[in-house]
Structure 1
Amino acid sequence: MKIVLLLTSMLLSQSLYAQEAPKTSTFHRLLLLNEKNELMVVKIKNSNRWVTPGWYQDDRLTIAQGLDELAAGYGVKIATPTLRGVFTLKGSQVSTRLIYTTKIKSGELKNPELIEEIKWLPIQKAVETITFPHISAQITQLSKYPDVIWGGAQTMYQENGVYGSKVVEDFYPLSGVLK
C-alpha cells in the first residue's frame, strides 16, 4: 500500500511540475531587391498589412527549396539568398525569424493569390510602409550593416488595433565585420 501511495504521489508531483515544451515555429523572410536596390513590399489581400515575402518552415521543403518556391510564387527566379539575420520573436508563441537578402535573376513579377499589391520602394520608404514594427527594425539594422549577420529578440503585440514591438534582447552581431 505504501508503495502504491508513493508511486501515485510521485506521478502527481511530476505532472504538476512538468511543462510542455513551447511550440516554436521558424519563419523565413525574403528581402527581394531589384536592380535599383529597391525592396519589394507586398500588401496582404483583404487587409491593410504590408510586409515582405516569407513562409513558415514545414517538413515538405528544405530552406533552399522553400525560398525558391516562394520566389516562384511571385513569378521570379532569384540569386542564391544570403542569410542576414536570426531573430527570436515572442508573441502568442515563440518564433525564430531567419532573414535573407537576394536579387531577382529573371522572370515576370506576378501577384500570388494572397497578395493584393506589390511595390518596389527605397529601403527607408519600405521600412516606413511595413505594418509591423519588428520587421521594420530588423530591416533597418540589416541595411545599416550589410556585412554582418544579426541576432536579437523582440516581442510583438497589438494594442487598440495598432501593432507594436519591444526589444527584449538588443541586436548583436553573430558573424561579420562592423564597419
Structure 2
Amino acid sequence: MLRRLVFSAIATVLVAAPLGGFAQSRYEAHDVPNVELYGGYSYVFDTYNPTQNSVSTAGMNGWDASLKFPILGTFLGIKGDVSGFYRNDAPNFNPKAYFFLLGPQVGAHVGRSTLFAHGMVGSARLTSSALPNIKSDTTFAVAVGAGLDVGVSRWLAWRFTGDYYNTHYKATNRNFNEIVNSNGRISTGPVLRF
C-alpha cells in the first residue's frame, strides 16, 4: 500500500512538473500582438483550356503575402494582400495571374489560435506572352474567405486559409478568360505577429 502511494506521488510530480512549466509559458489572447505579416505557398483552383482542342482541369501554383494592421484591437483590422500564380502546361500558353487586394479582416482568438474572416476588393492582372493578340488583361477582383492561425509562439503562427476569388476578365479568348475566374484559393505558411 505504501509502495503504491509513493509510486503515485512520484508519477504525479513527473507528469505535473512539465505541465506547470507549459502553463507558465502559455500566452492568453490579450498577449497576442495585433500586426500580422504573412507569406506562404498558395494554390488557386482553375478550369481552363490550355489549347482550343483539349479541355483541362488544373490549377496554378504560386505565393501569397499579406499585412494586417489593427483598427479595433484584435477583433477588426485592415488587410492588404498580394498574390501571384503561374502555370506552364503548353509551349504556347504560360499564364501568370496577380492579385492586389485590400479589405477588412475580423478575428477571434481561441487560446493560441486565431480564427478569422476577410473580404477584400482590388485588381487582378493576367498576362501571357504567348498569345498573339492578347498580352494582358486587368480587371476588378473580389475575394472572400476565412482561415485559422495556429499559434506556435507569441510572435509566430502557422496559417491555413481558403478564399473564393471572383474576377471578370474582358478578353474574348476562352483560354485566357477562364483562368482564375471565380475560383477557390488555398494558402498556407508562417505568420509573424508583432
TM-score using structure 1 length: 0.24
Give the number of the structure whose alpha-carbon radius of gyration is greater. 2
